Amino acid sequence: MPDSPSEPRAPLDGYDLDGYDLAVIGAGPAGTAGAVAAAGLGLSVALLDAADRPGGQYFRGTASSTPQGGAAFAALRARMATSRVDHLAAHHVWSVTRDGEDAWSVHALTGPDGDGGEPVRVRARAVLLAAGAQERQLPFPGWTLPGVVGAGGAQAMLKSGLVLPGKRVVVAGSGPLLLAVASSLAAAGARVPAVVEASGYLGYARHPRALAVNPHKALEAAYHGGALLRRRVPVRTRSAVTRVHGTDRVEAVTVTRLDRDWRPVPGTGRRIACDALAVGHGLEPRIELATGLGCATRRTPDGTDALVVNGFQETTVPGLWAAGETAGVGGWQLAWSEGELAAVAAAVRLSGRVGPAVSERLRALRRRRDRLRSFADAMAAAHAPGKGWTDWLTDDTDVCRCEEVTAGRVREAVADLGARDARTVKLLTRAGMGWCQGRVCGTAVSCLAAGGTAPGSVPPTPARRPFAVPVPLGALAALDEGEGGESTGVAGLGRCGAAGPGGQGPYVLGEFADRTLDGVGTRGGQGAAATGLRDSRAPYGQSAPEAQRPSSPPPFGIRDASGPGAVGVHEPRDPVVPVQRRGTRGPGTPGGQRPPAPDGREPAQPARPAEPGRSEPSRPGGPEAPAPPVD
Amino acid sequence: MPSSDSPDVIVVGAGVIGAACAYYAARAGLSVTVLDRGPVAGGTTGAGEGNLLVSDKEPGPELELALRSTELWRELADVLPAAVEYEAKGGLVVASEAAGADALRAFADRQAAAGVAAVEVPADGLRDLEPHLAPGLAGGFLYPQDAQVQPALAAAHLLRASGARVRTGERVTAVLTGPRGEVRGVRTPAGAVHAPYVVNAAGTWGGEVARLAGAHLPVLPRRGFVLVTEPLPRVVRHKVYAADYVADVASGSAALQTSAVVEGTPAGPVLIGASRERVGFDRALSAEALRRLAAGAAALFPVLARVRVLRTYAGFRPYLPDHLPAIGPDPHVPGLLHACGHEGAGIGLAPATGALIAALLTDGRPPVDPRPFAPERFAAVAA
């Protein structure tokens, strides 16, 4: 550990940041709202995020294409800047470990892409996981051609002010994101020959109540739909791009009608000329940091895995909270509510105290969350992939592009070698073992494995990915020595950073994989994206375990009829007793050196424990945090 | 290949040991049904590195089993498709200090007397074999008989080559017995499967299967982590490990032990082991275990420090108190045979284990002396 900030550090030397109450992972709407709310209740908060600026994928970029809610988020961001939240930008979290009761470590790598930076360990008493979601891809013949990009990636490129993926861009896949992407592309000057949606939109109509209580969602859809109409973009439902044509890059696509199970209807293929294809099939929660800790998951109706949380957003591992898409994809407003709810509940847990104002705030947040969740449920059901989609895969279609494993080889592993699940397919074919660790091909491989006709299929389990991002071996070696550590097998390692240059170049990714990993990780999701279902509200929290935990929040009386909505505007009028922090070594103290702020300015004062008996100054009637626009 | 709902023998466990038992039993003319509650290679087999080692074994029954298996693996490599990635690449054991080199030499001399090929490599010769090894190591030994397979593919192809009927995703819920307590078959949620013999090849979960039959086998899990790097050109040519690995393997301690074991694979990633700790079936990431593995590997191969690790996974070695597998008939339940408890060496010991089980089932000639492996050595505990 270097003694002074000016001493040049060897790469991979790393440093620790100790003594936080709450570490929040992900600075999208859920994480940012959670961090601000927690700091407002007196917690010291570290907010780690891979990007340079808070916002996640949805609030990425600047004013050029301000999404709905942009002003509210800008206000939240401004509030965070003056709060006691330490925003650790460009921190790529690769693992979370539990060190003991109320003791967690968040392990991250710094640097623009987590490469070449330093390992950082942030210690906190509780963790809020708000890592967002990534785009789901279903492969098809030709999907590896240059010019095929993720729909979320195309959106991200636009928000970052980057170039359009092409001049004539077909938008395809499934989910409400497609309309938004097509609308953005058209507004940015691209021609959109077609939006190709595998589901029908009629599915929404089966959930009239969810729409009725979430009218803003209908307005959003109408807004995008209207924009597309004005630009004369045809929307083809119950259809899919089943092949991409071209030699060096995309020249055209074949769009085929689908039956109810998403099987291509023979003879209905139509060729559409284009020079790019933006494709995506909804979002998948990024939950690997939590599953590595043993958190329970649930299968959503559209086939993704989300974390099981109780009524206060706590996972099945006490002390680890989850908000936003990690608990089921539901869009930025739901994410915001869940982040705030989790933060308030965590503050109550850590302080052991709850007053009427906090109780009321929790109640209102829960009500709002439940209402938004009902809409997410409806959307999930409407955009669930049909089981027949694998029929559009030819045997020579690459399913895993990192390891170049074809659909034929996966089918062979299932038919001949006894694979019945994605993990065994991986072991037998290497599908999912490459750079992306199955993030791109996982869904496809699971579907192919489960599609085998042989009996003996094994229930799907969420992929285990203990490392959320690749970690240099030297960074692992630089982890703190644990208690009572024994010596390693080989004498003294010395400084791993001193290792000479390798000679082996970095593994080069294909264009698509790049975008899929970096661009399409739609942290925070798209506004209208909603593909999660949570029909059992409190899978375990409703019963004894939560109530019996000594430090758990007391049951909040939720029966009264305080006004609906208006969540996030309740300043706690009763002081929440500031959290007693055990660690005295705070960020900024020797041994706990902190990184410079991303914009180069002097870092804000690190969070300090509030003085006993004193809470954050309350501003009567003023908003605790800018509330997301309430429908 | 005859296979029906009433086979001659039921093998419980579709890992590499079960696959080898099925393969050799079928070759001996028996019809076999293999049952597993999970998929093929879903347990320890799928979590291992696929080592076929003689280098880490001291003279004794396990080394005999390993040497016989080494020969059988060479035969199997000709029979099975190339996809099993059999590679006779040899092992290189290195010592960091002079005292360690002396101990290693004495160990290798004893192994040589038992039939192991071991070639001393002086300090200045190490980097001819492994150009990226750290400078300053004291010396080492090359073991040409050490080899490697891709374990899951090896198990899957062995199973397929056996012609056995494989029923995955089917948990054995009971062992059926007759009036004299003899095995009559097993029950699963799909119904009964009748056979006069049941082979318990359930690996780390072998104790549970034994219990279903009213038998006792003290198999315990011993957790290990493996780190997998990004694909690389061939940076590491042999299986390379530090001399103290041997002591860790033989230790019975429950505490975390790590020793660096580093090897390249045909597909490109470098695999890094090996940690050992007895913590039950806990898969939670141990930062300390990972740190030690990484530090040990980077100490052996400094060039790896900059290489990125893509994943890590935990596996559970089936551990028996005396570090020898249980292979042979149960002393109390007629018709029940055990073939489990191979700890971290199951891939390497599988063929001779399968051949031994087949010989016991058919009164054939055993490939090794079966007595040291007889499960009855735990009978006193059961009584």
Same domain, A518 and A538: no
Block residue for tokens 């990484």? B294
Q: In this structure, are residues B239 and B200 in contact, taking their beta carbons and an 8 Å threshold? A: no
Q: Distance from A485 to chain B by nearest Cα, in Å?
A: 8
Tokens standing for residue A428: 């037998």
In this complex, the residue of B283, B304, B310 whose CB is nearest that of residue A435 is B310
The mean per-residue pLDDT over the stretch A599-617 comes to: 37
B61 domain residue, yes or no = no
- In chain A, residues with a C-beta closer than 8 Å to the C-beta of B235 are 502, 504
Residues B117 and B138 in one domain: yes
CATH number, domain at B271? 3.30.9.10
Residues A271 and A161 in one domain: yes
- Torsion sign (Cα): A259, A265, A271, A276: positive
Q: What is the CA radius of gyration of chain B?
A: 20
Label residue B185 exposed, middle or buried (CB < 10 Å: 0-12, 13-18, 19+). buried
- pLDDT of A580 higher than 70: no
Chain A with chain B: Cβ pairs closer than 8 A: 212
Q: What is the mean pLDDT of residues B247-266?
A: 80
Of the listed ranges A131-140, A433-442, B231-240, B374-383, the one predicted with least confidence: B374-383
**Which chain A residue shows the shortest CA-CA distance from B306?**
A472
A106 contact residues in B (CB cutoff 8 A): none
**How far is residue B244's CA from residue B58's CA, in Å, rounded to a whole number?**
13
Nearest by CB to B41, which of A427, A496, A497? Answer: A427
pLDDT digits 0-9 by tens, B82-127:
999 999 999 999 998 888 889 899 999 999 999 999 999 999 999 9
Containing structural domain, residue B122 = 91-144+220-319
Of B160, B167, B305, the CB nearest to A477: B305
Interface membership of A471 toward B (CB under 8 Å)? yes
Tell me: pLDDT of A568 over 70: no
**In terms of domains, do A205 and A332 share one?**
no
Shared domain for A141 and A200, answered yes or no, is yes
Q: Are residues B368 and B228 in the same domain?
A: no
B167 sits in which H/E element:
strand B165-167
Amino acid identity of residue B141, one-letter, is F
Question: Which value does ipTM take for this structure?
Answer: 0.87
B22 reaches A (C-beta below 8 A): no
CATH number at residue A212: 3.50.50.60
What are the C-alpha distances in Å from A401 to residues A134, A139, A396, A504? 17, 10, 12, 21
A192 lies in a domain? Answer: yes
Q: Domain end: B319, B349, B368, which one?
A: B319
Contact between chains at B303 and A496 (C-beta distance less than 8 A): no
Rounded to the nearest angstrom, the minimum Cα separation between B241 and chain A is: 9
Per-residue model confidence (pLDDT) at position A221: 66
What was the pLDDT predicted at A136?
A: 92
Q: Are A367 and A346 part of one and the same domain?
A: yes
Strand, coil or helix: B127: helix
Instruction: Judge whether B117 and B109 are in contact, CB under 8 Å.
Output: no
Distance from CA of B315 to the nearest CA of A (A): 13
Task: Say which of A95, A107, A473 has its CB closest to residue B305.
Answer: A473
d(CA B337, CA B357): 8
Q: What percent of chain A has pLDDT over 90?
A: 43
Mean pLDDT of the region B163-192: 95
The total domain count for chain B is 2
Q: CA of A90, closest CA in chain B: separation in Å?
A: 18
Best of A97, A437, A461, A490 to substitute, by most chain B Cβ atoms within 10 angstroms, is: A490
C-alpha pair distances (Å), A381 with each of A184, A204, A345, A375, B94: 25, 9, 30, 10, 58
**Domain hosting residue A104, numbered range:** 15-133+285-379+531-548
State which amino acid sits at residue A410: V
DSSP state of A516: I
Residue A387 is assigned to a structural domain of this protein: no
The answer to whether residue B56 is domain-embedded is no
User: Does one domain contain both B199 and B252?
Assistant: no
Residue B72 domain flag:
no
Q: Does A16 touch chain B (CB under 8 A)?
A: no
- Contact residues, chain B, for A422 at CB < 8 Å: none
Cβ contacts of A157 within 8 Å, gap of 6 or more = A149, A163, A164, A165, A515, A519
Q: Rounded to whole angstroms, how far apart are CA atoms A250 and A306?
A: 34
Alpha-carbon distances, residue A352 vs A34, A131, A348, A548 (angstroms): 18, 27, 6, 14
Residue A415 sits at the chain B interface (C-beta within 8 Å): no
* Distance, CA of B276 to CA of B256 (rounded, Å): 6
| CB-based contact A434 B302, cutoff 8 Å | no
On whether both B287 and B314 belong to a single domain, the answer is yes
Q: Using the predicted structure, report yes or no on whether residue A259 has a pLDDT greater than 70.
A: yes
d(CA A167, CA A169): 6
Q: How far apart are CA A93 and CA A83, in angstroms?
A: 23
Categorize the per-residue pLDDT at A538 as very low, low, confident or very high, splitting at 50, 70 and 90. very low
Q: What are phi and psi of A78, to 5 degrees?
A: -65, -40
Give chain A positions within 8 Å (CB) of B97: 491
